[in-house]
Amino acid sequence: MVSSVFAFSSLLLFVFLTNIGFSSAGLAPVYYYDDPTIIENVKRSSPSSSKDYVVVIDIDVPTLAMANRTKTGKSSITPKDPLWTQIARDALELQVDVLKSLLPKAKRQALNQTLGQTTFSVIGSFFSFTGSFDDETVLIIRAMKATKFIQQVIPISDDGNNLSEYQNDFVTQNSKRDADQSGYPLPLIKKQDANTYFQRYAPWAIARLSSTTLPSPIYPYGNGFSYKNGGDGVVIYVIDSGVNIDHQEFGGRASFGPNVAYTQSGALAEDDYDHNGHGTAVAALAIGTSLGVAKKAKVISYKGVAALSGLTDAIVVSILSDITQLISTATDGRKASIVVCSYATTSRSAIWDAAVTQFAQLGYTYVSPAGNQKASACNRSPAGSLATVAVGATDYKDGYYVNTNFGPCVDLFAPGVSVMTAGVASTYSVNLATGTSYSCGLVAGIIAMLLSQDPTLTQDQVKAGLLSLAANNVLTSTLANTVNILAQVPY
């Protein structure tokens, strides 16, 4: 366990005495995953009789800070203060020890391995730890006074998004080519006027984002992409399958962050690069030089999934906790940060919803997919939380994508059918991508533009900005209880 001046101090123990032992007010709720199948390809350290859970704890960090003010020199702190995270982590460690103390000796010894590998998450006022527990242990945890709720870990996926290699010349009109790059274009971007840049021969998806009406022609290339800023100074964290950072679309503006794509044995499944294509595609639509929106923003890849590693809501929550700390302690001169994670659950996840809600309350923006099941996005996490920017997909005829999810939990729509994006086959490969994941990438780029102009915007203010810019009632089809709003870049 991490040591600090707060861990197991007498003051901390005193404050927590009322939370130790069993509650007389009833048991904390527990949420089970409705598929009884054991989650595959996820790192586990417990017997098959146990299931993986996330335990969400109630911690009064301000009171703990006050109790320790003689040691810290602070009587009050905010959730963005690194000290907040340290105090919360120490309190979570104490709760794990409380759990151990409540277990029979034999069970305590059996659980030492899984509890020794516990992951702590702190996102604002969201506090949790993980573990693999049998039914008896779950009952004990539910009775602990500090337990808010427990949830069985839920597997997630990239949700039926499709990628295929684009075989034809990308832009046949471009005269500037490198013979070794199979016709991959250099973007023809010029300053249109004192405040606007113009990209000629822009792929249809980004061209549609700078025109309030459907351009003609539109597919595969629209009548250009106009924009006022490239998202300079904004960092976009892409939680995904990795990123092909050497691709020409990124021009050195993409970098590797952590890689937590572990196999069941605990080994890294892959190196930091993207061997799937999903993460690279999303990142390129956000910041790509030719194919993306925010051409001066940066991407940091946070790899959470690989071919031989599964992804769960617990992993994403842990990643989001880490990113929260990385944002609050960043010293790279960035103006603002965004998270885009184009993954979702097949049902609601209480832990994911609670985590993104706290992330938004910290003032940060999280972009999520509506999903591709032709169903209500309100039945899925994190879109159903209403605490993200939830994005649906449209086609090049201004119709809703046939498989896009819909409903009142979708904030707006963006192109997501046969959109050109970067691939992983080479440093210049181009793929065609379909799905709400790729609509997310485009909207993340627009948000980078907004935050570059005003880094103080909260997620609610970002949503308001997106809606004020958007083209209303231009989509030609109809979906029940769903907005008819198409994203647009600042003009």
Residue ranges of the domains in the chain? 51-153, 162-486
41: how many CB neighbours lie within 10 A of its CB? 18
Q: Calculate the CA 307 to chain-centre distance.
A: 19
Question: Token pair for residue 367?
Answer: 């972009």
pLDDT at position 281 over 80 = yes
DSSP 8-state code for residue 19: G
Structure tokens at 189: 């971007």
Q: How would DSSP label each residue in 93-146?
A: HHHHHHHHHHS-HHHHHHHHHHHHTPPEEEETTEEEEEEEE-HHHHHHHHHBTT
Assign 51 to helix, strand or coil. Answer: strand
Say what the pLDDT of residue 70 is: 65
Q: Is the pLDDT of residue 279 over 80?
A: yes
Proportion of the chain above pLDDT 90, given as a percent = 73
What's residue 360's pLDDT? Answer: 99
- pLDDT computed for residue 75 by the predictor: 67
User: pLDDT category, 216, cuts 50, 70, 90?
Assistant: confident
SS3 397: coil
Q: How confident is the model at residue 353 (pLDDT cuts 50, 70, 90)?
A: very high
Q: How far apart are CA 377 and CA 437, in angstroms?
A: 13
Taking only the tens place, the pLDDT of each residue in 102-128 is: 998 888 887 887 787 899 999 999 999
From CA 483, how far away is CA 472, in angstroms rounded?
9
- Rounded Cα distance between 6 and 15, Å, is 12
Q: CA-CA distance, 300 to 242, in Å (whole number)?
A: 9
Judge contact between 424 and 275, C-beta under 8 A: yes
pLDDT at res. 187: 63
- The least confident of 116-130, 175-189, 200-214, 472-486 is 175-189
Could you give the residue numbers annotated as active site? Answer: 240, 278, 437
| Helix/strand/coil for 314 | helix
Q: What fold characterizes domain 162-486? A: Rossmann fold (3.40.50)
Closest CA to 339 of 230, 433, 462: 462
> Closest Cα to residue 263, out of 40, 35, 52, 48?
40
Averaged pLDDT, 259-267? 89
Average pLDDT value for residue range 362-381: 97
Cα 470 → chain centroid: 23
Provide the pairing of β-strand 197-200 with 225-227: antiparallel
If you average pLDDT over residues 367-385, what whole number do you get? 97
User: What does 188-202 look like in DSSP terms, one character per residue?
Assistant: EEEE-SSS-EEEET-
pLDDT at 278 > cutoff 90: yes
pLDDT of residue 235: 99
Q: The pTM is what?
A: 0.90
Instruction: Tell me the average pLDDT of the chain.
Output: 88
pLDDT at residue number 35? 52
Contact 230, 189 (CB under 8 A): no
β-sheet bridge partners, residue 259: 303
Residue showing tokens 């061997």: 275
The per-residue pLDDT for 318 is 98
- Residue 15: which pLDDT band, with cuts at 50, 70 and 90? very low
297, 326, 324: which is closest to 234 by C-alpha?
297
